[in-house]
Structure 1
Amino acid sequence: MEITDLTPAELRVWRAFPLNKGVDLRENADDDPADGASWGPGRTIRAEVLRALLLDGPATGGEVPGLKLTGARITGRLDLMYGTAEHAVRLRSCHFERPPNLYGARMRALVLTDSVLPGLTAGTLRVDIVLRMTGCRITGPVRLAGAQLSGALFLDGAVLGAPGAQGDPPPGPDREGSGERPEPVLQLNHATVGTDVWATGLTAHGRVRMDGATVGGLVNLDDAELRDPGGLALEAETLSVGTDLRAARLRARGMVNLSGATIPRRLVLSSARLSNPAGQALRASVSTIGELWLRGTAPVQGTVNLRGAQLDLLEVTPEVWPERVRLDGLTYRRLTPHLPAERRLPLLEREETGHLPYSYEQLATAYRTAGDEAGARTVQLAKLRRHRRALPPYARFWGYLQDVTVGYGFRPMRAGGWLLMLLLAGTLVFAGEHPRPLKADEAPDFNPLFYTLDLLLPVIGFGQEAAFAPEGAYQWLAYLLVVTGWILATTTAAGITRALSRQ
């Protein structure tokens, strides 16, 4: 392009480029780039001029060139497909007529802060320093699949997509496919980000896709709003982050899918609102997470699926859980806040696949880790009671008997209470009516207390039971004490054996 072809506005940009100086075409500091279609020639820059600058622009000895433009209307398509821009590109508060095509390009830095774009095609883009789209409004899809960003990606305050807007189709290698699902408004699938993804306050009208992405630092979605009702608000299967995934006060309409994700420190969903009533609202199955925070989160609308997930800490109150959960194989070491076991147990009744003994064992282990043995026993007892429902009638009867007498061995004091009550009753009855001695000249002195103990305790003998024979109703009382003693002894032994085997 010859320099004589440039308009006055383009000439200013051309001359500023080799000196890395900024050109601000705004009439007022608060000009809205959304109105850029009406900006006149004094604020219009052709995309082909910017392309020429970035690929083969002038240079001045001793200076580092760079494009620094604010408040411009950029007409045509900025096409740097497979190109290399060795200079920083800063296009702030600009209005783009067409989506830039940066597919396969390599750039030092790209800053689009507060700009308005109809889309961005940048699959497999390589950026050495930073990609900044803070405050951008992009109505079409942002295609960054397979991008390699050595530094950070900034999307804080950006608004992506619009209800019903799909944008232009991408070129061949970056095509989403011909399925029925709308194209994601943000495509970071299989991208690599060297440091952080900073997207606080992001608003996405459509699916955000991050499956297979690798982020060296944290992903920050605090105060973000992701809207894909009935679909996938956040698709991040096998996402790998270096530290945290923060999403405090997140508002998600549609599934948040973190299946298979690796988050070594914290997944923060504190005070979030997750809604997908017809399906799964949160899916983090077979994921590996250091700490999952659901502190202050509103009751989840939709299923929570944590099957096979591995957590060190699970922080959640019972009120957060929805009516349907999938917890088979969920492993966690600590559970906070510490609450009575009776408040945690109703959750295990909501498992969609029915009774899962492992879920009870895991909850009991968490209470035992916290030093609450009483809570652990309560959970174990609840597990056996639920299992009893599936047993045949005779086994259920035996289970009820063990439950009433000794609480399946987890309430051993009950056996002591029953024995003490029967001992007192037997002692009072036989104190008033001594049984007849079998051999009067050989029988010891009758003692109602030890005679009752002889009847109740099958493994201890005081010589009283064998020396005396009650008659009539008293004989039936003796039989009752013998049978009751055997039942208490065997159920106690079974319960103790069960408890010891778990230890």
Structure 2
Amino acid sequence: MDEMRLNQAEWRVRHAFRRGDVVDFRTEGGGESGNESEERTVRAKVLRALLIDRPTEEGEIARMRVLGARITGTLDLQYGTVEHPVTLSGCHFEETPLLYGAQVRQFSLSESRLPGLMADGLRVDGVLRLTGCRVTGPVALGAARVSGACFLDDARLTPGPDRDEGPALALGHAVVEGDLWAAGLTSYGQVLLDGAQVSGVVNLNDARLEEPGGTALQAETLTVGSDLHAMRLRTLGRVNLRGAAVPGQLNLAHARLRNPGGAALRASGCRAGEFWLREAAPIEGGVNLRRAHFDLIFATPEVWPDEVRVDELSYTKLNPPLPAERRLELLERDVEGYIPAAYEQLTASYRRIGDDAAARTVQLAKQRRHRATLPLYARLWGHLQDATVGYGFRPMRAAGWLAGLLLVGAVTYGLRPPRALTSGEAPDFHALAYTLDLLLPIIDLGQEKSYTPDGAYQWLSYGLVLAGWVLATTFAAGVTRVLSRQ
């Protein structure tokens, strides 16, 4: 480094670096990090030379700690190795820093303003901190590897109208061995987390992600070590979590997901311990939960939109506890139509908590939904089973029908007894026993074969015999279904 060509600010940075001291320009040159005064202007090539050449003083630990500087030129550390911690907080960068393939100990750009950050393949042995940054171009951290945590909390990403440069934030296939902390992140462009691996927590609480007509959060096959918190998340555009793996909570409580005219949430094949939509706003756009698996889903029916896909969705428990009739609303919204497995899944969840009545309600709803897919003759038979015994899930209906018909027959034939077929040989007539003989095809009380009614009363007897056979058949079908279910 040619020391004779350094300006006053650069001399201060050089000497402070050798001793690990802080250089704070925030109260100098007008107090704005973008001020053009030479008193706070540092050329990027000077910083690069310090970081690469590593000048030190004996007995001191070198470290770059610069606050509030105006950095001109391009900070180019591509493929370089920086062995000292770097803190460039509250700085104003005129050009996009280039850190492609670089290896650094620890790197902080907190509260800085940048036109972008190109850092694909970056290796950070400690913490990467972009807290509160204001970036007007893409932040590229694809395939980066961070041994500690990665902080993007309260950062604001506002790429220009030309989106051909890629996502606003790209962390595709990155590896973060600590937490990915992006609480309060604002991004007016796509946040890309495809294939990323985060050993700790992903925190998107209070984040605002917008990509109208596109995908605001692209996180296919994201792997998280514990939880993904996105409480109070606000999105405009699709949230894509296809194939994501979250062993703890996938928490979207109080969130608002919007993508009118498209899919607002795609979580097909996603696996999570708990999926929370507690007190979330009604989702504006479609939801795809096909082949997803959750141990617990916390959501009320009001959250779900009209277009929902739940084919092969599996879960263990649903919260909050609700009547089966309310949970059935979701299954009726599935755009795929009748999905038998979805009813079986809901039935199983009610049986796990011991609510057999709710489980039977779901099974009855399943049979009614299935009936609509059958040909006419089968639908008619289905209506008959439904009205008589509720497809076997309402067996007491048969007893009610039987009691009603028994009363009609007993009163009618009690007022107008039928004539005996063989005078003097017939047993005494009992209207109740005679009606039972007509209704129950497997019981012979000796009344039906000894007496025969006349005229319209004979047609009533035919009707009772037919009704008895129908009741017996449908009841047997229902019992068979119950036994096979158990």
Q: What is aligned with 2:216?
A: 233
Q: Tell me if structure 2 keeps the 8 A contact 1:455–1:465.
A: yes
Within-5 A mapping of 1:386-465 = 386-465=369-448
1:21 aligns with 2:21: yes
Give the conservation status (yes or no) of the 8 Å contact 2:87–2:108: yes
Q: 1:197 aligns with which of 172, 175, 180?
A: 180
The residue number in structure 1 matching 2:100 is: 103
Q: In the TM superposition, what is the alpha-carbon distance from 1:212 to its structure 2 partner? A: 0.4
The CA deviation at 1:458 is: 1.4
Say yes or no: does 1:277 pair with 2:274.
no
Q: What is the CA distance between 1:42 and its match in structure 2?
A: 0.2
206-215 vs 453-462, greater mean Cα deviation: 453-462
Change (3 A) 1:28 1:413: farther
Q: Identity over the aligned pairs, expressed in percent? A: 58
Name the structure 2 match of 1:127.
124
Structure 1 206/312 Cα, relative in aligned 2: closer, same or farther at 3 Å? same
* Cα shift at 1:182: 5.5
Structure 2 residue runs of 5 or longer lacking an equivalent are none
Listed one character per residue, the Cα deviations across residues 13-51 of structure 1 (whole Å, up to 9, x for unaligned) are 111112211110112799453xx0x33100001111111
SS at match of 2:105: strand
Kindly state the Cα deviation for residue 471 of structure 1 after the two structures are TM-superposed.
2.2
8 Å contact kept, 1:82–1:104: yes
Q: CA separation of 1:230/1:32 partners in 2, compared to 1, >3 Å: closer, same or farther?
A: farther
- Secondary structure of the residue aligned to 1:374 is helix
CA–CA separation in structure 1 for the residues paired with 2:70 and 2:49: 17
Check if 1:92 corresponds to 2:89: yes
Matched with 1:368 is: 351
Unaligned runs of 5+ in 1: 167-180
Q: Deviations over 1:353-393 (max 9, x none)?
A: 22111112212222222222111111111111122112211
**Superposition pairs of residues 235-250 of structure 1, within 5 angstroms:** 235-250=218-233
Q: In terms of mean alpha carbon deviation, does 236-245 or 344-353 score higher?
A: 344-353
Give the 3-state SS of the residue equivalent to 1:481 in structure 2: helix
Residue 470 of structure 1: aligned partner: 453
Shift of 1:412: 0.9
**Structure 1 residue 140: Cα displacement:** 0.6
Determine if contact 1:140/1:165 at 8 Å carries over to the other structure. no
CA pair 163-249 structure 1, distance change in 2 beyond 3 A: farther
Aligned CA distance change for structure 1 residues 162 and 267 (closer, same or farther; 3 Å):
same
1:7 corresponds to: 7
Change in Cα spacing, 1:481 to 1:446, as seen in structure 2 (3 Å) is same
Aligned equivalents of 2:272 and 2:206: distance in 1? 21
Cα distance between partner residues in 2 of 1:59 and 1:28: 26
- When residues 30 and 371 of structure 1 are mapped into structure 2, their CA distance, relative to the original with a 3 A threshold, is farther
SS in structure 2 at match of 1:342 = helix
Contact 2:137 2:160 in 1 (8 A): no
Instruction: Give, in whole Å, the separation in 1 of the partners of 2:63 and 2:443.
Output: 97
Alpha-carbon distance in 1 for matches of 2:411, 2:182: 79
Question: What is the correspondence of 1:32-431 to structure 2 with a 5 Å cutoff?
Answer: 32-33=32-33, 36=34, 38-164=35-161, 183-431=166-414
In 1, Cα distance between the equivalents of 2:391 and 2:295? 30
Whether the aligned pair in 1 keeps the contact of 2:26 and 2:32 (CA below 8 Å) is no
Give the Cα separation in 2 of the matches to 1:28 and 1:260: 51
Name the Cα RMSD after superposition: 1.5
Residue 175 of structure 1: aligned partner: none
